[in-house]
Every structure is written in structure tokens, then in C-alpha cells.
Amino acid sequence: MNRQIIMKSRPVGAPQPHNFELREVPIPELAAGEVRVENHWLSLDPYMRGRMSDAPSYSAPLEVGDVMEGETVGRVQASRDARFAEGEWVVGRGRWQTHSVLEAGQCRKLSPQIPKPSLALGILGMPGVTAYVGLKHIGQPKPGETVVVAAASGAVGAVVGQLARQAGCRVVGIAGTEAKCQYVSETLGFDVCLNHRAPDLARQLKDACPEGIDVYFENVSGPVFEAVFPLLNDFARIPVCGLISFYNATGLPSGPDRTPLLMRAILTKRLTFRGFIVTDFLADWPEALQALEAAFVAGTLQYQEHVLSGLEAAPQGLIDLLEGKNFGKVVVDLKPA
């Protein structure tokens, strides 16, 4: 039998455990061109909150009753496609379930060099590529510039900051606890990391960026963006990657309409804000994965996983991720010892 978690109802605000349901169904038969994968690892990512909403977005929403969306890594159990053999490790959009039947063309084989399969869901997969392409194409950091990145200990932010340091920039991270800040500055090697819960974040950020901000890699928005905004330099670049502080919001924040201030700064400082989705840069994936893997294997990129045990842990894992309770890339071990 296949164990899977469906979206039982659409959340309003923060998702709750009752929005999810575990069920058991038979494993489907294979058609030509498909592979059946026994999943070992499931990735939990902030975008999943967006899929649970029916608000217009770049991707179609889940319907109530659908298996929750998500990437998985597992081993091919049966194949009806010549490109894949039994036993091979693959990554694909296997969803929240123990077994997936996937179109072979939608699967990617894991590199034999990969030290642990779950890395293909994080630094050596979608989040790592997100950091790489967002920084390369939109951030375009130059030596000596100041780069600020929020959610700095997370899957995307940790890679952004390390790559920006390697590009010769001053890198300021922003994270949500003292322990995360210590990890970001001491282990990841950012120049500074500030706690966004500090009441004087704006002043601390100003002190940490004496020459202003040239690249702000936007992962969260909200009060962190408020602190960043006045410090943006002329011609600053802002890759808009994610807005996690809004994902559970049910309405607009109260307060005056500050659109004129934003638009005036965009005009007078000639700012570049560009939203992107990692799949906009499919042609860059091979280059990005190769570069990230080489750096990781050489020990020049550090990375931390937040491992949860068993499929049942996934709903609370997503709820916690959206509240910043994770410390590193969240993966679910679907076959815990």
C-alpha cells in the first residue's frame, strides 16, 4: 500500500493539522514511459503554502483531496522507460507519499558524487539552484559591494550569502534567533548576522551596512524589508525570491499607503526589483548543480539539514517552517531506522 498525505481542507491563515489527512491507497500500475519510485526523502518548502491557496499564482493550486505537492528523492522500484533502471536514485515531484509513479521525463538522476541523497532536495537541488540563479542573473554582486540576505540560515539564504562572500562582497545575514545568527556568522562565514526580532533592527542594519546596500536578496519582506529599504543604494538590485512573512496572511497590513515612497525610490535610485521563479532559468540548472556540487564536495559551501522522522511529521513540519521553527533545510526521512 501507498501511504500519502492529502490536503483535506484549505487553510485560512496558518495551516493547522486538521487541514491534512493521512490515507492508504493501492500503489498504481505503471504505464509506458513511467517509473515507480520508493521515496526515501521528502522536501518541505515554503511554496507549499501557496499551493494550498486558491489565490491566483504562477502555478495551479491543489484541489481539496489532492496529495500534497512536494519533491522527493527515492529509488526506482520498477521502470517502463529505458532511461531508468531498478535501484537508481532519482529526484522528482513525488508528492507527500511513500511511493510515486512519475513520468520518466520529469525525473532527474542523482549524481554519483552526491554524498547523501537528501542533499538533492536542498543545496544540490531546487533551493541551491534558486540561490545560484537569483544571485547570478538578478543580484549580479560585484567585489566590494554589500549584499543583505534574510532567512540567512535557511536552504536558499545560506547559499546566497556564501556565494556572495565568494564573489568578494560584504555579506550581512538576517535570521530569527541568536543561535541561527551565530551559525550564519561563524559557520557560514557571513560578515555579520542580525536578529530580525531585535527591536532596533533598523539601526543595527544601518551600522552593519555603512556603505549602504547594493543587493538585497528578498526572501521574507515585511518588517525586514522596511529596515532594508532606506539603505538601498543607487542602482541596487533586489531579486524578489520569496515573501514568507506574508504567506499565512489573510489580508493587507494596516497603515498608510506607502506606494508613493516605494515608487519614488525605484525611480530616483534607479532600483531593479525583479521577481523570479527558479524554473524561469531551466537552462542554468546543469551549470548551477555542477558548481554547487563541486563547491560542496570541496568543502567550500556549508549546509545544515533539519531532519524530521516519518511521513506523519510532514504537516507539523510545514506549519513550523512557516513560523521559522526550522533550523536549516527541512527534509522528512520517510524510512527512519
Residues at the contact surface with ligand NDP, assessed by CB under 6 A: 45-47, 127, 130, 150-151, 153-157, 175-177, 180, 196, 219-220, 222, 224, 241-242, 244-245, 276-278, 321, 324, 326, 329
Residue labelled with grid coordinates 535501484: 87
Q: How far is the CB of 28 from ligand NDP (least distance, A)?
A: 29
Q: Is 310 left (phi over 0), alpha (psi -120 to 50) or beta?
A: left
Per-residue CA distances from 183 to 68, 180, 187, 297, 304 (Å): 32, 5, 5, 20, 10
**Among residues 33 and 222, whose Cβ is nearest to ligand NDP?**
222
**Among residues 124 and 278, whose Cβ is nearest to ligand NDP?**
278
Q: How far is the CB of 114 from ligand NDP (least distance, A)?
A: 19
CA 310 to chain centre: 21
- Strand, coil or helix: what is 72? strand
Q: How far is the CB of 159 from ligand NDP (least distance, A)?
A: 8
| DSSP letter for each residue of 102-160 | EEGGG-EEPPTT-SSGGGGGTTTSHHHHHHHHIIIIII---TT-EEEEESTTSHHHHHH
**Among residues 104 and 124, whose Cβ is nearest to ligand NDP?**
124
Q: How far is the CB of 146 from ligand NDP (least distance, A)?
A: 19
CA distance 292 to 159: 9
**Among residues 111 and 177, whose Cβ is nearest to ligand NDP?**
177
Q: How far is the CB of 194 from ligand NDP (least distance, A)?
A: 10
- Strand, coil or helix: what is 319? helix
**Among residues 166 and 177, whose Cβ is nearest to ligand NDP?**
177
Q: What is the 8-class DSSP label of residue 252?
A: P
CA distance 89 to 84: 9
Q: How far is the CB of 247 from ligand NDP (least distance, A)?
A: 7
**Among residues 28 and 286, whose Cβ is nearest to ligand NDP?**
286
CA distance 2 to 148: 43
CA distance 75 to 95: 15
Q: How far is the CB of 266 from ligand NDP (least distance, A)?
A: 20
Q: Letter for the amino acid at 305?
A: E
For residue 102, give the C-alpha cell.
512519475
Largest CA distance in the chain: 61
Rounded to the nearest 10°, the torsion over CA 300, 301, 307, 310 is -100
| DSSP letter for each residue of 18-42 | GGEEEEEEPPPPPPTTEEEEEEEEE
**Among residues 62 and 175, whose Cβ is nearest to ligand NDP?**
175
**Among residues 38 and 92, whose Cβ is nearest to ligand NDP?**
92
Q: How far is the CB of 78 from ligand NDP (least distance, A)?
A: 31
Q: How far is the CB of 33 from ligand NDP (least distance, A)?
A: 27
**Among residues 139 and 324, whose Cβ is nearest to ligand NDP?**
324
